[in-house]
Structure 1
Amino acid sequence: MNLSTALEHAAAKQGGKVAYHFLDQTATYEELNMAVHRFASGLKALGIEQGDHLALITGNSPQFIISLYGALRAGATVIPINPLYSPEEISYIVQNADAKAVILLDILVPLANKIDQTLPFVEHYIVCEMNEERTKEKQPEEFSIYKKMKTFSKVMDIGLQPFHPPAVSEDDTAVILYTSGTTGKPKGAMLSHKNLYSNARDIGSYLQFSEKDRIITVLPMFHVFCLSVCLNAPLISGATMIIFPKFSPKEIFAQAKQHQATVFAGVPTMYNFLYQSGEGHSEDFASLRLCISGGSSMPVALLENFEKKFNVKISEGYGLSEASPVTTFNPLDRPRKAGSIGCSIMNVENKIVNEMGEELPAGEVGELVVRGPNVMKGYYKHPEDTSAAIKDGWLYTGDLARRDEEGYFYIVDRKKDLIIVGGYNVYPREVEEVLYNHPDVVEAAVLGVPDPNYGEAVLAFVVPKNKELNKENLMDYCRRRLADYKLPQQIEFLEELPKNTTGKILRRALKKQVLQN
């Protein structure tokens, strides 16, 4: 079984069931499966063979789903890419991934035309026509890549002929997900059909997804969190997706109420925006049975405030691209523990180890390592990095964590973000938790900066709720709650914190800003 065959089974079982809502569009499972089959056939007609690589650069849309599942059905490997990346970032990934075709938004055609000379392997650009007026503004003939261009609808049209999908092994690479590149150029994590299917199946089972669920799909589909939790798991569970092209608190509240959504998944920043917006009410989320948080650690103060305001429970989980991605979630059949990422999901093992790889007892902080059918094959064209990340079958996450006696895990911080002040360990998250608890703080981020006396010092960036908050009052607040060596030596007020497109706060951007100053 793989994702493509799972979709076929769902279509055979409940073909008339709604698979997704998107703006004013609706498609049943039978219609979605037929579209996927036609697109796979169209790719074959273009000369896309089993094992070829396709870059997918679109936003949240039916075209993303049809392209992804169509390519997988054709036996190709998909490389999802953030459409907001710079030309240099997109060029690097497409080139490094040896992509033979690129599926892209119409608005990105000028960019593709600009970087095409750096992409020797690309033979086809499949353009998703998202805006007819914009398409008319420039005639395709103006672009040097015109002869390589096909519209998405054209590929669908030529896919009407009979098509017999190739046999796909569970160990074949289905998707290559490029990491964010926090330590240099991004690396492509190779995820097999087995990796993706097993994680989607186990997520759905652990969170009790069913055909009765209506899942808000607003996280970016190119990101592994959405890909597995809000797309793959719902589809193989027979659920309905409520797809949003972009995040808007007003639209989330309205659509959740209209479609009686049962599951919402988001990153902590989204929860913060929903909480701070002042637009929503508890009745808008009355139909929700489950809220899911991931992508980064959620401050406990935000979790508790959100739950109180909207009368819902948030299940925080943990994952990473290299693990397809989910390894833990707070269970639904036992108490949720605030601040915890939960327990190991089925078929996945998590443990805490020291520098020698030895498992640590409950309560001690070490590196979180993971083993299971969800762990990647390795990094594309990076065997040395693969060997460093996977040792004896265990994936080393780079995250510092601890486990309690009941098997609940807690992320302490990223190993590389650890701040050492005069020989004492300071975990940014514990300082951030204190800051988030202040009623006049909207967001906070903490990092370490060089200090001539203590090696490193704690620097805090804060987004205040109002101008009445000053540094002196905030420092006094911290002094009553933190040891002296954990105190921020400096606090900077900002209007907003830099984030990536999934809403994750970018500490490295803040650090770069500090170094430049």
Structure 2
Amino acid sequence: MHLKSKFPQPPPVPDANAHYAMFGLPDYPQPEDFTVNIDAPSGRERSYYELRRLVKEGATGLAASESAGGLGLSAEAGHMVGLYSHNCIDYVAMVNALIYIGVPISLLSAYSTPYELAHALKTSKVTHLFIQPDFLSKAQEACKQYGLAEDRIYILEGSSPGRKSFQDLATQVRQRGTHLAMVKEVTKDTLAYLVFSSGTSGLPKAVMISHGNIWAMVLSQMIMKQEEDKVTQLPPPAAPPVWLIFLPLYHTYGVHMACFRQFFLKSTYVIAPKWDVQVVLKAIPKYRVQVMPLIPSAIHQMVNSPLFTKLDLSSLVSVSSGAAYLPPELARKFMGVVKSAATMLEGYGMSEQTLSAIRKPLPGLYGLHAPLGCTGILIAGMEGRIVRPDGTEAGVDEPGELWVRGPNVALGYFGNEKATRETFVDGWLHTGDAFRADRNELLFFVDRAKDTLKVSGAQVSPTEIEDTIRAHPEKLTTDVCVAGVSGGRTRDEKVPRAWLVLSDEGRRRGEKAAIGALDEWVKKNLSRYKWLRGGWEVVDAIPKNPTGKVMRRALVDRHEATLAEKAKL
């Protein structure tokens, strides 16, 4: 099935620095000053004019020669700057300062161990590293493994004795009256940053995002908002809408929500250092948060928190979910409490798409009414195909792998030509995710193509089984994961196994009775080849990475290791 976006075509991507997409061209009329960033824990504010000045002064300090007190950074010298920190408002400024001078950035997971960090530093060829002060010992150990000199470790926000910080560089420029650097001239294919894929299979790969990719997403978002405004017909807000950002800024979703926005269009972004369900829930009434991008694992924790029904969340008018599949039942629970938001906006994206490829349309847009469980339609500027395993195009409502192409598709994987050739084929990004499209070209997520099982020659979707388990009328679980394990008719065939987190009702019934009831439910509602032949297991929590993706492999590996130990006895 061949699909094209229903949205109007965005303007062509210009051959220009992405800084202008965020802050406007030099002659663009600037708004009156407003609060653009708030640090959630302290309440410290930064205005738009202060951010714009810090970006320019910080960029100047980063690019100035070492003899002038700067770092002498330039893309021509092969420099790559790594950022290793939890969220902070200086993260937003520094990302944009590096974009300003055209020096590529490596966005590093704040949860990395020294071993993982050393791998990421090596993969992305980092030459200078800015860190959260608390991470110094881990950074030193990783840099020693990688071979990066100790004097190339700097501080992003805060201070550490004997080390320059981003603020130090900007302050020095201001105090010396140094002439501000000009925006670096680059092309749309110039590397802007590296973001690491989630690494659910093998070590993470560094995805190359260009200045043109950032432009493409900003222009696409602009077109889609114009179309959605025709449906909502809401008057311009009297004050800048307040967003709450807890998504990690080293991840695709977070960095675009906080760092790659049209800052001259007034919005206030409250930045939480990291996910903490109590901190996030309490911040909503404290700052009267109106807009909140979410991920399914966060929604799960919120609806199961005692605070969820006790706090005033009525300021929320727009909520969205991305980064992973959102079960319809979980969306219903959330929206049943957050009634001030008209709908749960959903979408689908991955690092290789810069941000996203699919977005759920507002009710009535183009005459569409997307049901719960629908992922949406292709975003502006995007084209797609749903393809069978043999390479032919699938029909209406027939599952297949989603391929996409458009100006937001990444350049490839940094230093990994083999992986690039396998994933980016003849202009199409092979997503590895299975979707189906109905006759209205509404897209529905089916499963990760790599997670789909073949049982007795038939395809089995773990997601379908998970949704069936969640739909048990007695609500015996709060979370579930299904994956393939050994036990099939051949050595290579995998059979489905379920891992469960029991609800209060499930625990009251008892583990054995709850599993019995769920097993009976699955057998009643699903074909025999989809039954849980791999067994059931109750766990305290389903492991997920910081962006909310379920780490099926961790559960499978643990199970297989247990089987191997038993086989030795």
TM-score by length of 2: 0.84
- 1:494 matched to 2:524: no
State whether residues 250 and 280 of structure 1, in contact with CA within 8 Å, keep that contact through their aligned partners in structure 2: no
C-alpha distance in 2, partners of 1:43/1:152? 8
Which of 291, 299, 304 is the equivalent residue of 2:332? 304
Residue 93 of structure 1 pairs with residue 132 of structure 2: no
Corresponding letter in the other structure for 1:118: Q
CA distance in 2, matches of 1:35, 1:362: 52
The superposition leaves residues 339-387 of structure 1 with CA deviations (integer Å, 9 ceiling, x where unpaired) of 1110011111122012343332211111101111100111111122211
> Residue 252 of structure 1 aligns with which residue?
280
Matches within 5 A, 1:70-469: 70-120=97-147, 124-130=152-158, 135=160, 149-160=163-174, 161-162=178-179, 163-207=181-225, 212-233=240-261, 235=263, 237-281=265-309, 284-311=312-339, 312=341, 313-332=343-362, 333=365, 334-438=368-472, 439-453=475-489, 455-466=493-504, 467=507, 468-469=509-510
Q: 1:28 aligns with which of 47, 65, 68?
A: 47
- Contact 1:176–1:191 under 8 Å retained in 2: yes
CA 258–234 in structure 1, closer or farther in 2 if over 3 Å, else same: farther
* Partner in structure 2 of residue 48 of structure 1: 73
Q: Deviations over 1:435-455 (max 9, x none)?
A: 122312100000011214263
Partner of 1:144: none
Distance 1:27 1:385, change over 3 A: same
Contact 2:544-2:550 within 8 A present in 1 as well: yes
| In 2, Cα distance between equivalents of 1:278 and 1:3 | 43
**Secondary structure in structure 1 of the residue aligned to 2:298:** helix
For residue 270 of structure 1, report the CA deviation from its aligned partner: 0.7
Report SS of the residue matched to 1:513: helix
Distance change (3 Å), C-alpha of 1:358 and 1:384: same
Separation in structure 2 between the aligned mates of residue 229 and residue 108 of structure 1, nearest angstrom: 24
Local SS of the residue matching 2:261: helix
* Matched AA of 1:441: T
Cα offsets for 1:179-203 (capped at 9, x unmatched): 1223322211111011022213323
Which residue identity lines up with residue 447 of structure 1 in the other structure?
A
Q: Secondary structure, in 3 states, of the residue corresponding to 1:174? A: strand
Q: How far did 1:176 drift?
A: 0.9
How big is the alpha-carbon RMSD for the aligned residues of Structure 1 and Structure 2?
2.2
Answer whether contact 2:82 2:126 (CA < 8 A) is retained. yes
**Cα gap change, 1:349 to 1:452, in 2 (>3 Å):** closer
Q: Does the residue aligned with 1:285 lie in a helix, a strand or coil?
A: coil
SS in 1 for 2:304: helix
- Three-state SS of the structure 1 residue aligned to 2:260 is helix
What SS does the aligned partner of 1:49 have? coil
CA distance in 2, matches of 1:33, 1:150: 21
Task: State which drifts further: 399-408 or 248-257.
Answer: 248-257
Q: Return 5+ residue gaps in structure 1 as ranges.
A: 141-148
Equivalent position amino acid for 1:492 in 2: E
Paired with 2:501 and 2:517, the residues of 1 have a C-alpha distance of: 15
Report 1 or 2 for greater relative contact order, CA contacts < 8 Å, sequence distance ≥ 6.
2
Secondary structure in 2 aligned to 1:395? strand
1:310-332: CA deviations, max 9, x gaps? 22321110001011021011012
* Count of residue pairs the alignment pairs up: 503
Question: Which shows bigger deviation, 203-212 or 471-480?
Answer: 203-212
Q: Name stretches of at least 5 consecutive residues in structure 2 with no aligned partner.
A: 1-15, 65-70, 230-235, 563-569
Work out whether residues 455 and 488 of structure 2, in 8 Å CA contact, stay in contact via their aligned partners in 1.
no
Q: Specify which structure has the higher proportion of strand.
A: 1
